[in-house]
């Protein structure tokens, strides 16, 4: 019963079925946004107008479709698929490799009719024939009048490496799901931050107590005044607040510190520092509004104690200047950093306060996954090595010679023809 049970797991049809189930749920996880807030699912998947007639936010939350890759049932499917690969390796692939390593002599001439290529030779010099075979890098084994030759045995281990690499990928995925986390932080420049806003984490995740400081944030622009790149200058601090390391990150170039990756993802403007005449520097908040695909920030700067009179400030970039409008919406002028504008009194723009959006994540399974893909690429190269076999049976003055190959049949036939032709 145990043998039948493990053979069922090693069955190719069973493995393909489990793989299709995993692929199907992975597709669903790609279509449905993962690790979002409940409000997001209520908005996009309402109860009154179900997607595809069956998909609503309560179904998504009930079955864990909002975090498919960390659900217990998805991990079980991965575990079952891994067991299937292991049983197939031990029950099929390893025995097949052991058989390939044995000397498989033909005792009679009957099996030659089943080979891909075979020929009957007369009056041949056996030593010359074997010399030609040896020239083609075959290993030769002989028992009296029967001979077995093979080459490319290493090509037979490619399926083993494929199974091993897939198991590594599965193990890495499980470790990443159980011990990884992803967080999102919006930090004003010059501020110190800790990892607090956790978007997703595994059941075995330990959130590190690390702190860092955003020293600066800036944007570079193209000649067309479109954004070219975002940059954040980050210092990593120890428990005493002393800088240990410092790195500048930008999109597609994250920083890594203590196994944690810091990615540049977003940005925002949160305030203006303006110095009125004869008064200390004041800070005014900016409100973000959208104009199509463009971002625009605005603020109201009062010029009296009743807050009835003042002017509106608009800013749409981080180049260091903004536009001023009076309370009737008439344009007054542009103001750059450290520049003064005179209205009822003078105002000096001291600073535009920006914040940077950082995605902070770690996945301890990534090195294992990369190793698995490395072995998978290696197995692809090894699979191009052809495993070829040649059998020879001598009866009196006749030779029966034939061969098989796992791939590149045409090249093998040409090689077989050259060997037998030159042996006349």
What is the per-residue pLDDT across 335-394, written as a single tens digit (0 to 9) for each?
A: 888 888 877 778 888 888 889 999 999 989 999 999 999 999 999 888 888 889 999 988
Task: Please give the average per-residue pLDDT across 244-263, as a whole number.
Answer: 91
Per-position DSSP letters for 41-63, written without gaps between them: HHHHS-SSS-BTTTB-HHHHHHT
At 52 the pLDDT is: 75
Task: Please give the average per-residue pLDDT across 258-263, as a whole number.
Answer: 91
CATH architecture for residues 109-152+386-422: 2-Layer Sandwich (3.30)
Helix (H, G, I), strand (E, B) or coil at 384: coil
* Residue 210, both tokens: 């690390």
Task: Please give the average per-residue pLDDT across 135-140, as a whole number.
Answer: 89
pLDDT exceeds cutoff 60 at 42: yes
pLDDT exceeds cutoff 70 at 2: no
| Interatomic CA distance for residues 321 and 225, integer angstroms | 14
At 1 the pLDDT is: 56
Closest C-alpha to 339, from 324, 317, 354, 355: 324
At 291 the pLDDT is: 62
At 266 the pLDDT is: 85
393: which strand partners?
146, 400
| Interatomic CA distance for residues 245 and 254, integer angstroms | 14
* Residue 406, both tokens: 């796992």
pLDDT exceeds cutoff 60 at 233: yes
Identify the band that residue 244 occupies on the pLDDT scale cut at 50, 70 and 90: very high
pLDDT exceeds cutoff 80 at 320: no
| Interatomic CA distance for residues 165 and 383, integer angstroms | 14
DSSP 92: I
The whole-chain average pLDDT of the chain stands at: 85
So where are the chain's domains?
2-96, 109-152+386-422, 181-362
Give me the phi and psi of 108, to 5 degrees please. -130, 180
Give the full edge-to-edge strand order of the sheet including 243-250: 192-194, 211-221, 227-237, 243-250
Express as a percent the part of the chain with pLDDT over 70: 96
pLDDT exceeds cutoff 80 at 179: yes
């Amino acid at each position: 019963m145990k043998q039948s049970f493990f053979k069922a797991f090693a069955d190719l049809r069973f493995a393909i079925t489990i793989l299709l189930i995993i692929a199907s749920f992975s597709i669903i996880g790609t279509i449905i946004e993962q690790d979002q807030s409940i409000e997001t699912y209520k908005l996009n998947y309402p109860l009154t107008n179900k997607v595809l007639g069956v998909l609503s936010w309560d179904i998504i939350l009930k079955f864990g479709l909002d975090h498919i890759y960390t659900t217990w049932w998805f991990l079980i499917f991965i575990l079952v698929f891994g067991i299937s690969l292991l049983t197939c390796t031990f029950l099929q692939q390893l025995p097949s490799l052991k058989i390939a390593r044995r000397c498989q002599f033909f005792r009679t001439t009957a099996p030659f009719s089943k080979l891909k290529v075979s020929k009957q030779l007369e009056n041949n010099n056996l030593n010359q024939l074997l010399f030609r075979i040896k020239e083609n890098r075959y290993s030769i084994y002989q028992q009296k009048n029967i001979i077995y030759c093979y080459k490319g045995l290493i090509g037979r281990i490619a399926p083993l490496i494929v199974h091993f690499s897939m198991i590594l990928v599965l193990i890495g995925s499980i470790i990443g799901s159980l011990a990884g986390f992803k967080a999102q932080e919006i930090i004003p420049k010059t501020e110190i931050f800790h990892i607090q806003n956790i978007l997703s984490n595994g059941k075995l995740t330990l959130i590190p107590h690390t702190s860092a400081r955003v020293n600066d944030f800036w944007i570079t622009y193209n000649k067309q005044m479109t954004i070219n790149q975002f940059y954040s200058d980050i210092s990593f601090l120890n428990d005493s607040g002393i800088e240990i390391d410092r790195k500048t990150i930008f999109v597609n170039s994250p920083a890594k510190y203590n196994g944690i990756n810091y990615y540049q993802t977003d940005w925002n403007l949160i305030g203006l520092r303006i110095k009125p005449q004869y008064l200390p520097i004041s800070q005014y908040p900016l409100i973000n509004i959208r104009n199509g695909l463009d971002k625009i920030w605005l603020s109201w700067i009062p010029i009296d104690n009743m807050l009835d009179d003042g002017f509106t400030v608009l800013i749409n970039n981080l180049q260091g200047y903004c536009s001023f409008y009076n309370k009737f919406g008439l344009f007054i002028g542009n103001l750059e950093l450290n520049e003064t504008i005179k209205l009822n009194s003078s105002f000096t723009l001291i600073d535009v306060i920006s914040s940077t959006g950082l995605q902070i994540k770690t996945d301890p399974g990534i090195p294992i996954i990369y190793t698995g893909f490395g072995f998978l690429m290696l197995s692809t190269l090894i699979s191009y090595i052809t495993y070829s076999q040649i059998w020879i049976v001598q009866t009196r003055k006749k030779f029966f010679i034939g061969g098989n190959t796992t791939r590149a049949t045409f090249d093998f036939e040409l090689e077989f023809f050259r060997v037998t032709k030159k042996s006349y």
